[in-house]
Amino acid sequence: MSVILENPVNGEQTASCAAQAWLRAKEENVGGYGSGRPREKEPVEDCRVLSAGMLQRNKVLGERLFNIAALTWTNAATGENVSSIGCLVDTIGAVPLIRLSYEITRTGENVDYPVRLTTTPLPWGGFRWAFLCPGWNCGRACRKLYLPPGGRYFACRLCYRLTYTSTQEAHTFDRFLNRLTR
């Protein structure tokens, strides 16, 4: 399965989403994030966007699934792959989650962390899926997560607007991960 998607924010990028081994994404770069320090407020169009609606439409996300997929953002003008992440969706277990895995180009660091998922029943049947933002003290249900240039983790718009510096961000997520592993 491979589907080309419009970037919902600016229409410039497209994402192709294919069922592949998620480990493959670790060998690829998360491109475009290798230079510069994050600004205090990031324009949303510079971010990589992870959309629950997009994942659901492509059947990567749904009820009672265990899915491994690679998500690739490509430049619509050149067709060049600009970044790629691996994801593992598990909605069979007691806690539905999506695990994200990718390499930070500028540091060569591999990150791998779970994001919890939640559902809202739809009046015509089925469910609307959302992420629970992994930002510290956030946990908002949101349909989209963002990874800004210079960022390490996907988080909601609110988190990045309010606390966006690299050190705060790292701190936020280290605490989040500590809490998970306790």
Kindly list the residues in this chain that would bind Zn ion in the complex (CB under 5 A): 133, 135, 138, 155-156, 159
**d(Cα 17, Cα 33) in Å, to the nearest integer?**
20
Q: According to DSSP H, which parts of 37-113 are helical? A: 52-57
CA-derived radius of gyration, the chain: 15
Find the shortest distance in angstroms from Cβ 16 to Zn ion.
Answer: 27
Residue 12 corresponds to which tokens in the numbers above? 């410039």
Coil/strand/helix, residue 27: helix
Find the shortest distance in angstroms from Cβ 158 to Zn ion.
Answer: 5
Report the residue number, 22 or 144, with the smaller CB distance to Zn ion: 144
Report the residue number, 43 or 126, with the smaller CB distance to Zn ion: 43
Report the residue number, 89 or 115, with the smaller CB distance to Zn ion: 115
Report the residue number, 39 or 161, with the smaller CB distance to Zn ion: 161
Kindly write down the DSSP assignment for every residue of 130-169, as one continuous string.
EEE--STT---EESEEEE-TT--S-B-HHHHHHH-SHHHH
**CA 19, chain centre distance (Å):** 16
